[in-house]
Structure 1
Amino acid sequence: MPGETTNPVTEYREQAVESERGALVTVLLMVILGVAGIFAVS
């Protein structure tokens, strides 16, 4: 299939999406931990 050849642009875009997703997951985890910490303290 000619469409399956690795295009450096799409490869870079996929990596960017993956790192963006990782950052989102990290932020979500920090928020959840912060809320859990507030509940634990109170």
Structure 2
Amino acid sequence: AFGRVAQGMDVVRAIQQSARDEQRLVPPIAIDVIRRMAG
């Protein structure tokens, strides 16, 4: 996936530190909203 984080980098860092089983987060983390921005 390619993209840029416009807001919420603290959330991205928290997800990076989450427990995982190989490449899957345990427990899974749901992403509620993703928006495409003009760029």
TM more than 0.5:
no
Q: Which has the higher strand share?
A: 2
- For the pair shown, the structure with the greater C-alpha radius of gyration is 1
TM-score, structure 2 normalization: 0.30
Q: Which has the higher helix share?
A: 1
